[in-house]
Amino acid sequence: MRRELKIIFICHGNICRSPMAESVCSAFAAERGMSDRISVSSAAARTDEIGSPPHRGTVEALARRGIPLIPHRARLLTREDGDKYDLLIGMDDANVRDILRIVGERNAGKVVKLLDFTDSPRPIADPWYTGDFDRTFEDISEGCRALLDRVEAADERGKKIRRT
């Protein structure tokens, strides 16, 4: 029997990109019949929004596409999360630096950017600044599809998940 893969998505404040990724990945996994193979969560790399609900733009972008928002309040990533999760997925280089600062070098091999799983690795722009939640949704969807493809391929080979 396969072990459940534990994934946590991390962005700056845990109100825009990471709760969107948590909701999108969960919905896509359910569509593929993979809900029993992965569990998803999200957290902040910084303290700015701790306790806040998801940004209205995130809520609206998900609703327009019929993707349920996972109930959520922003929380800070902890050192213990580094041990608890198999993949710690940031949205941009600043997130990755913050994740490594929090979880330490011993968990560095688990840290990756979401779009590193795609054929076009790049950061996901923060819609808090760009205002473009639809573009963020498209990037996150691309990354989550690629991530789930990798999980399926790794399961078939009996191997660990690898990025590009």
What would the 3-class secondary structure string for the chain be? CCCCEEEEEEECCCCCHHHHHHHHHHHHHHHCCCCCCEEEEEEECCCCCCCCCCCHHHHHHHHHCCCCCCCCCCCECCHHHHHHCCEEEECCHHHHHHHHHHHCHHHHHHEEEHHHHCCCCCCCCCHHHHCCHHHHHHHHHHHHHHHHHHHHHHHHHCCCCCCC
Q: What is the mean pLDDT of the chain?
A: 94
Over residues 23-50, mean pLDDT: 97
Of 64 and 162, more confident: 64
Indicate whether 74 belongs to any domain: yes
Indicate whether 164 belongs to any domain: no
Query: Active-site residue among 16, 17, 46, 92?
Result: 17
Q: Is 126 a catalytic residue?
A: yes
Q: Is 17 a catalytic residue?
A: yes
Confidence of residue 158 (pLDDT cuts 50, 70, 90): low
Indicate whether 138 belongs to any domain: yes
Indicate whether 142 belongs to any domain: yes
Query: Active-site residue among 81, 92, 116, 126?
Result: 126
Lowest mean pLDDT among 117-121, 135-139, 159-163: 159-163
Over residues 126-136, mean pLDDT: 97
Indicate whether 46 belongs to any domain: yes
pTM: 0.94
Number of structural domains found in the chain: 1
Q: What is the pLDDT of residue 1?
A: 45
Q: Is 11 a catalytic residue?
A: yes
Domain limits at 36?
5-157
- CATH code of the domain in which 38 resides: 3.40.50.2300
